[in-house]
Structures are given as C-alpha cells and as structure tokens.
C-alpha cells in the first residue's frame, strides 16, 4: 500500500514552550498535550546532555520546539536515523533506525523495505510529536534520509560533504566551498550551504523529481571531481584516509547512497559546545567564519532573525540538462 504524503504541520510554539517550562518546574516528568487526543510522556528534562555548558534534555526539546517551523519541513516524510545519547554526550551512544514495538501512539511510523528486502518499521519525520519523542529517547541530532518514504529510490537533493583533514583549517574548507560554488554556477545550477555542525560544510543541490539515488551520486561526483582536479593541493576525492594529504579537504560525494544520512539542517550536534548545523548565505563564506559561533545557546535567535533561508533555497529544483 502506498504511503500518502502529509502536509507540513503548524505548531503552536508558545503553548509547547509553556508546557515544557511547567513540566520542568514540577521536577522534569510529565506529559505534553498535542490536542486531538495526542500526548507524549516526557521524563528527566533536567538530565544534563552537555556537561560543560549545562544544557539539559529540556533545553534541547525547547530548541527544537522554537525552530519547528524551520526544521520540520526538512524532515517531512523522511525516514529518520537516531543516534541516542541517553546519558548525554559523554555517555555511551548507539544508533537506532528500526521503530520500537513500544513506540507511543502519535509518533509517526511507516513500514519501508530495506536494501536487503526486509520490511521494517521506521520513524518518519515532519511533526513535532515525533521529533520530541526522538529527543526523549536521548537523540540529539535527528538525521533524515535524502529521499521520502513515498519514493525511497529517488533523491530530493544531492550532497557534497566538505571534510577537512587534520591540518586543514576552516578557512581552507571555506575556500574549497567557494570553488565548488564556481563549478556549480558554471553548470547553471544552484545550491544551498550549511555548516556541518562539526568541522566541515555541507553543500546541497535540489534535484528534479524522480532523480534516482545513483544519479544523485553522479551529480555530486562530477562537481567534486572538477574541484579536486582544479585544486589538487587543497582538495581531494581520495576515499582512503591514509592516502589523503593531511592539509587537504575531502570533497565527499558518497553520502548520497540510499539510506545514508548526514546531520540535517538546523540540527544540534552531539559535540562539546552544542554546535548547530546552520544554513548560511553564500556571502557569509568569509575567511574568518567560525562554525563554533552557531550553537544551542544562540542559533534559534539567528534563525528567527534571518528567516528560513534553507527551505527557501531548496524549493527551486535544478534542471540537470546542462550535465547531459
């Protein structure tokens, strides 16, 4: 049976922020009322997820609630990969993709077919209840697939992941991103860019509908190869880490395989400082750009100030005729 595409959810942000505050004031355990008979039990909102900054599970839930209008569309209808940190970023962690049999009502779960042909229940994004349930489980970054549950073999975008070597500073990552933009512009294409929330940058090119995952990989490979060939001292597509120059930036086009994920736009990363994978304007790619400037403590204010530049950039699909 086919899965129907769902419309984006509108969130009463103020109401949920008030509910979270009330639960915290009563000790950190309680229930969030989503209306229409839907509720989500939450617990231990005072549990510290980021020890140095003292950010708690409640702080992470509050952040995602505040930016719901920005982040939920990026996850709409997409299977989610959770990396759970039940005791915070200094504790043990593990990945979860398959939905648990104890998943509460209201959390979106759909059955998908894996590459091995097995049918599995998976969490699917696009609504706040599912998002906050992931945080309740201890997830910090919730990473969406590049395709939607209705068409898992077709990518909505292709990704180029700029990953610096141990001796490559962030200014070099920025420079490689600028070169990638030149190649993209040369093909008559457009792209969105964001910090990875770690040490790199992610470039996304929105694709026409019904673009196979394999074709998405080829588009990224073409761009990455041109960048690396033009700037071999600074950029590489060498897959083997030991064969790369320590001061080069790995222009990774292999993140586009079916079921692969990267940190989604607007997501908090489970790293010291609670950095956020932050959408940027291309004009913000300056030599002094520091990805650590975008974090849980200030990112929501930035997004409210600059608006939703990510979904705006991703709405207009590229034509790939110039690449044929």
Instruction: Return the CATH superfamily for domain 13-144.
Output: DNA primase, PRIM domain (3.90.920.10)
Q: Which residues contact 283 (CB under 8 A, 6 or more apart)?
A: none
CA distances in angstroms from 286 to 49, 100, 169, 283, listed in the order given? 32, 44, 13, 7
What does the pLDDT profile of the chain (324 residues) look like in tens digits?
466 666 667 889 999 999 999 999 999 999 999 999 999 999 999 999 999 999 999 999 999 999 999 999 999 999 999 999 999 999 999 999 999 999 999 999 999 998 888 999 999 999 999 999 999 999 999 999 999 999 999 999 999 999 999 999 999 999 999 999 999 999 999 999 999 999 999 999 999 999 999 999 999 999 999 999 999 999 999 999 999 999 999 999 999 999 999 999 999 999 999 999 999 999 999 999 999 999 999 999 999 999 999 999 999 999 998 787
Determine contact, residues 198/291, Cβ cutoff 8 Å. yes
Determine contact, residues 75/144, Cβ cutoff 8 Å. yes
Please name the fold of domain 157-323: Alpha-Beta Plaits (3.30.70)
Can you give the residue ranges of every domain in the chain? 13-144, 157-323
- pTM as predicted: 0.95
Determine contact, residues 217/202, Cβ cutoff 8 Å. no
Determine contact, residues 48/54, Cβ cutoff 8 Å. yes
CA distances in angstroms from 235 to 39, 182, 197, 219, 250, listed in the order given? 49, 14, 20, 17, 6
Q: What is the separation, in whole angstroms, between the first and last Cα of the chain?
A: 35
CA distances in angstroms from 77 to 61, 69, 116, 204, listed in the order given? 21, 15, 21, 18
* Gap between the Cα atoms of 211 and 147, Å rounded: 10
- The tokens describing 321, both together, are 């005729």
């Amino acid at each position: 049976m086919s899965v129907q595409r769902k419309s984006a959810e509108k969130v009463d942000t103020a109401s949920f922020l008030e509910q979270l505050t009330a639960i915290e004031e009563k000790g950190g355990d309680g229930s969030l009322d989503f209306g229409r008979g839907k509720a989500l039990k939450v617990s231990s909102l005072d549990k510290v997820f980021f020890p140095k900054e003292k950010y708690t599970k409640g702080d992470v839930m509050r952040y995602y609630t505040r930016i719901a209008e920005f982040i939920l569309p990026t996850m709409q209808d997409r299977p989610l990969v959770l990396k759970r940190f039940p005791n915070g970023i200094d504790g043990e962690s593990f990945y979860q993709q398959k939905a648990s049999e104890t998943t509460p009502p209201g959390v979106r779960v759909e059955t998908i077919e894996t590459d091995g042909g097995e049918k599995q229940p998976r969490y699917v994004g696009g609504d706040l209840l599912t998002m906050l349930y992931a945080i309740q489980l201890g997830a910090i970054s919730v990473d969406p697939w590049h395709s939607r549950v209705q068409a898992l073999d077709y990518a909505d975008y292709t990704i180029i992941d700029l990953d610096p070597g141990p001796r490559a500073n962030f200014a070099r990552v920025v420079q490689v991103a600028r070169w990638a933009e030149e190649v993209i512009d040369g093909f008559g294409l457009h792209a969105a860019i964001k910090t990875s929330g770690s040490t790199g940058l992610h470039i996304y090119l929105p694709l026409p509908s019904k673009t196979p995952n394999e074709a998405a990989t080829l588009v990224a490979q073409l761009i990455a190869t041109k960048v690396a060939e033009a700037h071999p001292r600074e950029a590489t597509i060498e897959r083997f880490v030991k064969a790369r120059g320590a001061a080069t930036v790995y222009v990774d086009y292999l993140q586009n395989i079916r079921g692969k994920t990267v940190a989604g736009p607007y997501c908090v990363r489970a790293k010291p400082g609670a950095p956020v994978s932050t959408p940027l304007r291309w004009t913000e790619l300056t030599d002094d750009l520091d990805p650590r400037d975008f974090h849980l403590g200030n990112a929501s204010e930035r997004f409210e100030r600059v608006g939703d530049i990510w979904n705006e950039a991703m709405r207009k699909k590229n034509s790939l005729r110039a690449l044929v």
